[in-house]
Amino acid sequence: MGLKEEIEAIEEEIAETPYNKSTEHHVGRLKAKLAEKKEKLERQQSGSGGGGGYAVEKTGDATVALVGFPSVGKSTLLNALTNAESEVGEYEFTTLNVHPGMLKYRGANIQLLDVPGLISGAADGRGGGQAVLSVVRTADLVLFLLSVFEVEQYDRLREELYANKVRLDTSPPNVSVSKRHKGGIRVTTSGDVGLEDETIKGVLREYGYVNADVTIREELTIDELVDALMDNREYLPSAVAVNKADLIEPDYKEGVDENLRSLGLDPEETVFISAEEERGLDALKETIWERLGLIRVYMDKPGRGIDYEEPLVLREGHHTVDDALDRLGGSFDERFKFARVTGASAKHDEQQVGRDHELADEDVLRIVARK
Ligand SMILES: Nc1nc2c(ncn2[C@@H]2O[C@H](COP(=O)(O)OP(=O)(O)OP(=O)(O)O)[C@@H](O)[C@H]2O)c(=O)[nH]1
Ligand SMILES: [Mg+2]
Protein backbone atom coordinates (compact mmCIF):
# COMPACT_ATOMS: atom_id res chain seq x y z
CA MET A 1 0.00 0.00 0.00
CA GLY A 2 1.39 3.42 -0.94
CA LEU A 3 1.44 6.34 1.44
CA LYS A 4 -1.60 7.97 -0.18
CA GLU A 5 -3.67 4.81 0.17
CA GLU A 6 -2.55 4.42 3.78
CA ILE A 7 -3.72 7.97 4.48
CA GLU A 8 -7.06 7.31 2.84
CA ALA A 9 -7.49 4.10 4.80
CA ILE A 10 -6.85 5.88 8.11
CA GLU A 11 -9.20 8.73 7.17
CA GLU A 12 -11.88 6.18 6.35
CA GLU A 13 -11.40 4.39 9.62
CA ILE A 14 -11.66 7.65 11.57
CA ALA A 15 -14.84 8.56 9.70
CA GLU A 16 -16.37 5.14 10.41
CA THR A 17 -15.47 4.98 14.08
CA PRO A 18 -18.16 6.41 16.36
CA TYR A 19 -16.49 8.81 18.77
CA ASN A 20 -17.07 8.16 22.44
CA LYS A 21 -15.17 7.48 25.64
CA SER A 22 -14.44 3.86 24.74
CA THR A 23 -13.10 4.68 21.25
CA GLU A 24 -11.36 7.95 22.17
CA HIS A 25 -8.02 6.25 22.76
CA HIS A 26 -8.13 4.45 19.40
CA VAL A 27 -9.19 7.59 17.50
CA GLY A 28 -6.36 9.51 19.19
CA ARG A 29 -3.79 7.07 17.88
CA LEU A 30 -5.33 7.12 14.41
CA LYS A 31 -5.24 10.91 14.25
CA ALA A 32 -1.65 11.02 15.41
CA LYS A 33 -0.71 8.43 12.79
CA LEU A 34 -2.62 10.34 10.12
CA ALA A 35 -0.84 13.62 10.86
CA GLU A 36 2.51 11.88 10.66
CA LYS A 37 1.80 10.17 7.37
CA LYS A 38 0.56 13.43 5.85
CA GLU A 39 3.79 15.10 6.89
CA LYS A 40 5.76 12.31 5.27
CA LEU A 41 3.79 12.54 2.02
CA GLU A 42 4.36 16.27 1.89
CA ARG A 43 8.10 15.84 2.35
CA GLN A 44 8.16 13.33 -0.50
CA GLN A 45 6.18 15.62 -2.80
CA SER A 46 8.18 18.74 -2.11
CA GLY A 47 11.37 16.74 -2.60
CA SER A 48 10.43 15.59 -6.08
CA GLY A 49 8.44 18.53 -7.43
CA GLY A 50 11.25 21.06 -7.34
CA GLY A 51 9.23 23.52 -5.32
CA GLY A 52 8.56 26.62 -7.39
CA GLY A 53 7.18 28.48 -4.38
CA TYR A 54 6.72 32.20 -4.52
CA ALA A 55 9.38 34.16 -2.79
CA VAL A 56 7.85 37.41 -1.69
CA GLU A 57 10.02 39.58 0.41
CA LYS A 58 8.28 40.73 3.54
CA THR A 59 8.62 44.45 4.02
CA GLY A 60 6.81 47.10 6.00
CA ASP A 61 5.39 46.93 9.51
CA ALA A 62 3.07 43.96 8.91
CA THR A 63 1.89 41.68 6.10
CA VAL A 64 -1.69 40.82 5.15
CA ALA A 65 -2.59 37.95 2.80
CA LEU A 66 -5.68 38.60 0.70
CA VAL A 67 -7.43 35.29 0.27
CA GLY A 68 -10.45 34.56 -1.89
CA PHE A 69 -11.87 32.62 -4.79
CA PRO A 70 -11.14 33.73 -8.36
CA SER A 71 -12.93 36.89 -9.49
CA VAL A 72 -14.12 38.05 -6.08
CA GLY A 73 -12.18 41.28 -6.60
CA LYS A 74 -8.82 40.76 -4.87
CA SER A 75 -6.83 42.64 -7.52
CA THR A 76 -9.37 45.43 -7.66
CA LEU A 77 -9.17 45.80 -3.89
CA LEU A 78 -5.37 45.74 -3.88
CA ASN A 79 -5.32 48.49 -6.48
CA ALA A 80 -7.82 50.54 -4.52
CA LEU A 81 -5.89 50.25 -1.25
CA THR A 82 -2.29 50.37 -2.36
CA ASN A 83 0.21 51.73 -4.80
CA ALA A 84 0.46 48.39 -6.61
CA GLU A 85 -0.85 47.67 -10.07
CA SER A 86 -2.45 44.25 -10.08
CA GLU A 87 -4.10 42.93 -13.21
CA VAL A 88 -7.89 43.06 -13.12
CA GLY A 89 -9.80 40.75 -15.42
CA GLU A 90 -13.33 39.66 -16.07
CA TYR A 91 -12.21 36.07 -16.45
CA GLU A 92 -11.08 33.78 -13.66
CA PHE A 93 -7.46 33.30 -12.63
CA THR A 94 -6.07 36.58 -13.84
CA THR A 95 -3.60 36.77 -11.00
CA LEU A 96 -1.17 33.94 -11.42
CA ASN A 97 1.57 35.37 -9.30
CA VAL A 98 1.59 37.00 -5.94
CA HIS A 99 1.21 40.74 -6.22
CA PRO A 100 2.45 42.81 -3.32
CA GLY A 101 1.28 46.32 -2.61
CA MET A 102 1.85 48.75 0.24
CA LEU A 103 -1.06 50.23 2.15
CA LYS A 104 -0.19 53.37 4.07
CA TYR A 105 -2.41 53.95 7.04
CA ARG A 106 -1.79 56.08 10.13
CA GLY A 107 1.91 56.21 9.40
CA ALA A 108 2.13 52.41 9.09
CA ASN A 109 3.31 50.56 6.01
CA ILE A 110 1.14 47.49 5.68
CA GLN A 111 2.10 45.04 2.98
CA LEU A 112 -0.86 43.49 1.18
CA LEU A 113 -0.34 40.32 -0.82
CA ASP A 114 -2.84 39.51 -3.54
CA VAL A 115 -2.49 35.76 -3.94
CA PRO A 116 -4.01 33.78 -6.80
CA GLY A 117 -7.40 32.15 -6.38
CA LEU A 118 -7.30 29.62 -3.63
CA ILE A 119 -9.32 26.77 -5.02
CA SER A 120 -10.52 23.55 -3.53
CA GLY A 121 -7.79 20.95 -3.47
CA ALA A 122 -5.06 23.51 -3.14
CA ALA A 123 -3.79 21.91 0.03
CA ASP A 124 -3.35 18.58 -1.75
CA GLY A 125 -1.03 20.21 -4.26
CA ARG A 126 -3.60 20.63 -7.02
CA GLY A 127 -3.92 23.87 -8.94
CA GLY A 128 -0.57 25.21 -7.76
CA GLY A 129 -2.26 26.08 -4.51
CA GLN A 130 0.57 24.81 -2.36
CA ALA A 131 2.76 27.79 -3.22
CA VAL A 132 -0.12 30.15 -2.50
CA LEU A 133 -0.64 28.59 0.87
CA SER A 134 3.01 28.91 1.76
CA VAL A 135 2.72 32.67 1.18
CA VAL A 136 -0.35 32.85 3.39
CA ARG A 137 1.53 31.08 6.19
CA THR A 138 4.11 33.84 6.41
CA ALA A 139 1.54 36.63 6.76
CA ASP A 140 0.53 38.35 10.01
CA LEU A 141 -3.17 38.47 9.11
CA VAL A 142 -5.43 36.59 6.71
CA LEU A 143 -8.02 38.81 5.06
CA PHE A 144 -10.79 36.75 3.48
CA LEU A 145 -12.46 38.42 0.56
CA LEU A 146 -15.89 37.04 -0.32
CA SER A 147 -18.32 37.93 -3.04
CA VAL A 148 -21.62 39.13 -1.62
CA PHE A 149 -23.36 36.46 -3.72
CA GLU A 150 -21.18 33.58 -2.54
CA VAL A 151 -20.29 34.12 1.09
CA GLU A 152 -20.43 30.36 1.73
CA GLN A 153 -17.05 30.13 -0.02
CA TYR A 154 -15.72 31.16 3.37
CA ASP A 155 -16.04 27.59 4.69
CA ARG A 156 -14.02 26.13 1.85
CA LEU A 157 -11.30 28.75 2.17
CA ARG A 158 -10.93 28.02 5.86
CA GLU A 159 -10.82 24.30 5.17
CA GLU A 160 -7.99 24.79 2.71
CA LEU A 161 -6.03 26.79 5.22
CA TYR A 162 -6.72 24.29 7.99
CA ALA A 163 -5.49 21.44 5.79
CA ASN A 164 -2.34 23.45 5.28
CA LYS A 165 -1.73 23.80 9.02
CA VAL A 166 -2.97 27.36 9.39
CA ARG A 167 -4.98 27.79 12.58
CA LEU A 168 -7.10 30.91 12.58
CA ASP A 169 -8.22 33.10 15.46
CA THR A 170 -7.01 30.76 18.15
CA SER A 171 -3.88 30.64 20.26
CA PRO A 172 -1.52 27.66 20.39
CA PRO A 173 -2.77 24.93 22.74
CA ASN A 174 -1.44 25.26 26.26
CA VAL A 175 0.55 22.03 26.25
CA SER A 176 4.15 21.40 27.20
CA VAL A 177 6.10 18.19 26.79
CA SER A 178 9.52 17.40 28.16
CA LYS A 179 11.40 14.18 27.62
CA ARG A 180 12.62 12.14 30.59
CA HIS A 181 15.01 9.25 30.96
CA LYS A 182 12.65 6.78 32.56
CA GLY A 183 9.25 6.33 34.16
CA GLY A 184 7.03 6.21 31.08
CA ILE A 185 4.65 9.00 30.10
CA ARG A 186 3.33 11.10 32.96
CA VAL A 187 0.29 13.30 32.37
CA THR A 188 -0.46 16.39 34.46
CA THR A 189 -3.65 18.29 33.77
CA SER A 190 -5.31 21.27 35.39
CA GLY A 191 -8.87 20.07 35.88
CA ASP A 192 -10.79 18.13 33.27
CA VAL A 193 -9.18 18.76 29.87
CA GLY A 194 -11.73 16.68 28.00
CA LEU A 195 -9.41 13.78 27.15
CA GLU A 196 -8.62 10.60 29.08
CA ASP A 197 -5.03 10.23 30.28
CA GLU A 198 -4.79 7.01 28.27
CA THR A 199 -5.75 8.85 25.07
CA ILE A 200 -3.11 11.48 25.69
CA LYS A 201 -0.49 8.82 26.34
CA GLY A 202 -1.54 6.91 23.22
CA VAL A 203 -1.09 9.98 21.03
CA LEU A 204 2.34 10.71 22.52
CA ARG A 205 3.47 7.12 22.04
CA GLU A 206 2.42 7.34 18.41
CA TYR A 207 4.91 10.19 18.10
CA GLY A 208 7.67 8.07 19.56
CA TYR A 209 7.64 9.33 23.14
CA VAL A 210 8.50 6.61 25.64
CA ASN A 211 9.37 8.64 28.73
CA ALA A 212 7.97 12.14 29.01
CA ASP A 213 6.17 14.66 31.19
CA VAL A 214 3.18 16.25 29.50
CA THR A 215 1.37 19.17 31.07
CA ILE A 216 -1.99 20.36 29.73
CA ARG A 217 -3.58 23.51 31.10
CA GLU A 218 -6.78 23.84 29.06
CA GLU A 219 -9.56 21.83 27.51
CA LEU A 220 -8.40 20.17 24.32
CA THR A 221 -9.62 18.07 21.41
CA ILE A 222 -7.48 15.28 19.97
CA ASP A 223 -6.79 17.46 16.92
CA GLU A 224 -5.53 20.27 19.13
CA LEU A 225 -3.29 17.86 21.02
CA VAL A 226 -1.84 16.65 17.71
CA ASP A 227 -1.34 20.30 16.69
CA ALA A 228 0.52 20.96 19.92
CA LEU A 229 2.94 18.13 19.21
CA MET A 230 3.68 19.28 15.66
CA ASP A 231 5.86 22.36 15.48
CA ASN A 232 4.70 23.57 12.07
CA ARG A 233 1.25 24.94 12.81
CA GLU A 234 0.83 28.61 12.04
CA TYR A 235 -1.52 30.58 14.32
CA LEU A 236 -2.91 33.69 12.63
CA PRO A 237 -5.72 36.17 13.14
CA SER A 238 -8.23 36.73 10.36
CA ALA A 239 -10.76 39.27 9.13
CA VAL A 240 -13.57 39.06 6.59
CA ALA A 241 -14.62 41.52 3.90
CA VAL A 242 -17.65 41.05 1.66
CA ASN A 243 -17.11 42.64 -1.75
CA LYS A 244 -19.37 43.80 -4.58
CA ALA A 245 -21.83 45.23 -2.07
CA ASP A 246 -22.72 47.78 -4.77
CA LEU A 247 -24.49 45.01 -6.70
CA ILE A 248 -27.14 44.19 -4.11
CA GLU A 249 -30.39 45.89 -3.25
CA PRO A 250 -30.67 47.07 0.37
CA ASP A 251 -33.31 44.45 1.19
CA TYR A 252 -30.97 41.67 0.04
CA LYS A 253 -28.53 42.53 2.84
CA GLU A 254 -30.58 40.80 5.56
CA GLY A 255 -30.28 37.51 3.66
CA VAL A 256 -26.52 37.92 3.36
CA ASP A 257 -26.29 38.62 7.11
CA GLU A 258 -28.26 35.44 7.75
CA ASN A 259 -25.82 33.44 5.60
CA LEU A 260 -22.89 34.99 7.43
CA ARG A 261 -24.37 34.00 10.78
CA SER A 262 -24.84 30.41 9.63
CA LEU A 263 -21.12 30.40 8.78
CA GLY A 264 -20.34 31.46 12.32
CA LEU A 265 -19.59 35.05 11.31
CA ASP A 266 -20.92 38.15 13.00
CA PRO A 267 -22.26 40.51 10.28
CA GLU A 268 -21.29 43.43 12.54
CA GLU A 269 -17.66 42.39 12.37
CA THR A 270 -17.74 41.69 8.65
CA VAL A 271 -16.88 44.65 6.47
CA PHE A 272 -19.10 45.25 3.46
CA ILE A 273 -17.20 46.96 0.68
CA SER A 274 -17.20 47.81 -2.99
CA ALA A 275 -13.63 47.61 -4.22
CA GLU A 276 -14.75 48.92 -7.58
CA GLU A 277 -16.58 51.97 -6.24
CA GLU A 278 -14.11 52.36 -3.39
CA ARG A 279 -16.75 52.20 -0.70
CA GLY A 280 -16.29 50.84 2.81
CA LEU A 281 -12.52 51.05 2.48
CA ASP A 282 -11.97 53.23 5.56
CA ALA A 283 -13.81 50.70 7.72
CA LEU A 284 -11.74 47.94 6.15
CA LYS A 285 -8.46 49.73 6.88
CA GLU A 286 -9.60 50.23 10.47
CA THR A 287 -10.41 46.52 10.78
CA ILE A 288 -7.01 45.55 9.36
CA TRP A 289 -5.33 47.90 11.83
CA GLU A 290 -7.25 46.46 14.77
CA ARG A 291 -6.85 42.81 13.87
CA LEU A 292 -3.11 43.27 13.45
CA GLY A 293 -3.06 44.93 16.85
CA LEU A 294 -0.96 47.80 15.53
CA ILE A 295 0.06 50.72 17.71
CA ARG A 296 1.96 53.92 16.92
CA VAL A 297 4.79 55.06 19.10
CA TYR A 298 6.14 58.57 18.58
CA MET A 299 9.84 58.79 19.26
CA ASP A 300 11.13 61.77 21.22
CA LYS A 301 14.64 62.22 19.90
CA PRO A 302 17.15 64.28 21.87
CA GLY A 303 17.59 67.68 20.26
CA ARG A 304 15.08 66.90 17.50
CA GLY A 305 11.77 66.77 19.35
CA ILE A 306 8.88 64.38 18.87
CA ASP A 307 8.51 62.75 15.47
CA TYR A 308 4.79 62.63 14.73
CA GLU A 309 5.34 62.06 11.03
CA GLU A 310 6.91 58.64 11.05
CA PRO A 311 5.82 56.69 14.11
CA LEU A 312 7.36 53.43 15.11
CA VAL A 313 4.64 50.88 14.39
CA LEU A 314 4.47 47.81 16.61
CA ARG A 315 2.43 44.64 16.10
CA GLU A 316 0.25 42.63 18.49
CA GLY A 317 2.40 40.75 20.97
CA HIS A 318 5.32 43.10 20.32
CA HIS A 319 4.28 46.17 22.25
CA THR A 320 7.05 46.45 24.85
CA VAL A 321 9.88 48.97 25.11
CA ASP A 322 12.18 46.05 24.32
CA ASP A 323 10.33 45.45 21.05
CA ALA A 324 10.71 49.15 20.25
CA LEU A 325 14.47 48.88 20.87
CA ASP A 326 14.58 45.91 18.50
CA ARG A 327 12.90 47.91 15.80
CA LEU A 328 15.08 50.95 16.31
CA GLY A 329 18.18 48.85 15.70
CA GLY A 330 21.61 50.38 16.09
CA SER A 331 23.34 50.25 19.45
CA PHE A 332 20.34 51.36 21.55
CA ASP A 333 19.94 47.86 22.83
CA GLU A 334 23.30 47.64 24.60
CA ARG A 335 23.34 51.25 25.75
CA PHE A 336 19.79 51.30 27.15
CA LYS A 337 19.46 52.77 30.65
CA PHE A 338 15.72 53.44 30.92
CA ALA A 339 12.89 55.01 28.97
CA ARG A 340 10.42 57.80 29.57
CA VAL A 341 6.84 57.37 28.41
CA THR A 342 4.00 59.85 28.09
CA GLY A 343 0.56 58.67 26.99
CA ALA A 344 -2.10 56.06 27.62
CA SER A 345 0.27 53.42 29.00
CA ALA A 346 1.92 55.78 31.49
CA LYS A 347 0.77 56.56 35.03
CA HIS A 348 1.91 60.17 34.54
CA ASP A 349 3.81 62.20 31.97
CA GLU A 350 7.42 61.21 31.44
CA GLN A 351 7.05 58.08 33.55
CA GLN A 352 10.34 56.25 33.90
CA VAL A 353 10.01 52.64 32.70
CA GLY A 354 12.14 49.61 31.89
CA ARG A 355 12.31 47.19 28.98
CA ASP A 356 9.21 45.19 29.94
CA HIS A 357 6.84 48.16 29.89
CA GLU A 358 3.87 47.66 27.56
CA LEU A 359 3.34 50.63 25.29
CA ALA A 360 -0.03 51.86 24.00
CA ASP A 361 -1.19 53.52 20.78
CA GLU A 362 0.16 57.08 20.39
CA ASP A 363 2.54 56.94 23.33
CA VAL A 364 5.55 59.24 23.22
CA LEU A 365 8.75 57.36 23.98
CA ARG A 366 12.19 58.68 24.86
CA ILE A 367 15.08 56.29 25.23
CA VAL A 368 17.75 57.29 27.72
CA ALA A 369 20.97 55.55 26.74
CA ARG A 370 24.56 55.52 27.92
CA LYS A 371 26.90 57.58 25.84
N1 LIG B 1 -19.63 45.50 -9.26
C2 LIG B 1 -18.42 45.24 -8.75
N3 LIG B 1 -17.52 44.57 -9.48
C4 LIG B 1 -16.33 44.33 -8.95
C5 LIG B 1 -15.98 44.76 -7.65
N6 LIG B 1 -14.72 44.36 -7.39
C7 LIG B 1 -14.27 43.72 -8.48
N8 LIG B 1 -15.24 43.69 -9.45
C9 LIG B 1 -15.13 43.07 -10.78
O10 LIG B 1 -14.97 41.67 -10.65
C11 LIG B 1 -14.11 41.17 -11.66
C12 LIG B 1 -12.97 40.39 -11.04
O13 LIG B 1 -12.14 41.28 -10.30
P14 LIG B 1 -10.62 40.96 -9.96
O15 LIG B 1 -10.15 42.08 -9.10
O16 LIG B 1 -9.86 40.67 -11.20
O17 LIG B 1 -10.79 39.62 -9.15
P18 LIG B 1 -9.65 38.68 -8.50
O19 LIG B 1 -10.17 38.21 -7.21
O20 LIG B 1 -8.36 39.41 -8.49
O21 LIG B 1 -9.60 37.46 -9.51
P22 LIG B 1 -8.37 36.44 -9.80
O23 LIG B 1 -7.14 37.25 -9.97
O24 LIG B 1 -8.79 35.76 -11.03
O25 LIG B 1 -8.30 35.51 -8.65
C26 LIG B 1 -13.66 42.38 -12.47
O27 LIG B 1 -14.49 42.49 -13.60
C28 LIG B 1 -13.90 43.55 -11.53
O29 LIG B 1 -14.13 44.74 -12.22
C30 LIG B 1 -16.98 45.48 -6.90
O31 LIG B 1 -16.80 45.89 -5.75
N32 LIG B 1 -18.17 45.68 -7.51
MG1 LIG C 1 -6.59 39.00 -9.41
Q: What is the mean pLDDT of residues 77-102?
A: 72
What percentage of residues in the chain have a pLDDT greater than 70? Answer: 89
Residue 371: the pLDDT is 80
Please identify, by atom number, the ligand 1 atom nearest to the C-alpha of residue 68.
19
Nearest bound ligand to CA 247?
1
Task: Report the alpha-carbon distance of residue 165 to residue 169 in Å, rounded.
Answer: 13
- Tell whether ligand 1 has an atom less than 6 A from the beta carbon of residue 89: yes
Residue 117 scores a pLDDT above 70: no
Residues 311-322: tens digit of each pLDDT: 999 999 999 999
- Tell whether ligand 1 has an atom less than 6 A from the beta carbon of residue 293: no
Please identify, by atom number, the ligand 1 atom nearest to the C-alpha of residue 96.
23
Say how many Å lie between the CA of residue 77 and the centre of ligand 1.
Answer: 8
* Range(s) of the chain covered by CATH 3.40.50.300: 62-170+234-292
- Tell whether ligand 1 has an atom less than 6 A from the beta carbon of residue 246: yes
CATH of domain 62-170+234-292: 3.40.50.300
Residue 95: the pLDDT is 54
Residues 157-202: tens digit of each pLDDT: 999 899 889 999 999 999 999 988 888 999 999 888 999 999 999 9
Nearest bound ligand to CA 147?
1
* Range(s) of the chain covered by CATH 3.10.20.30: 295-369
Residue 148: the pLDDT is 96
Residue 88: the pLDDT is 64
Say how many Å lie between the CA of residue 128 and the centre of ligand 2.
Answer: 15
**Whether this model's pTM surpasses 0.95:** no
Mean pLDDT of the chain: 88
Say how many Å lie between the CA of residue 87 and the centre of ligand 1.
Answer: 10
Q: Which residue's C-alpha comes closest to atom 8 of ligand 1?
A: 73
Residues 200-211: tens digit of each pLDDT: 999 999 988 999
Please identify, by atom number, the ligand 1 atom nearest to the C-alpha of residue 87.
16
Please identify, by atom number, the ligand 1 atom nearest to the C-alpha of residue 91.
24
- Tell whether ligand 1 has an atom less than 6 A from the beta carbon of residue 295: no
**Superfamily of structural domain 295-369:** Beta-grasp domain (3.10.20.30)
Residue 121 scores a pLDDT above 50: no
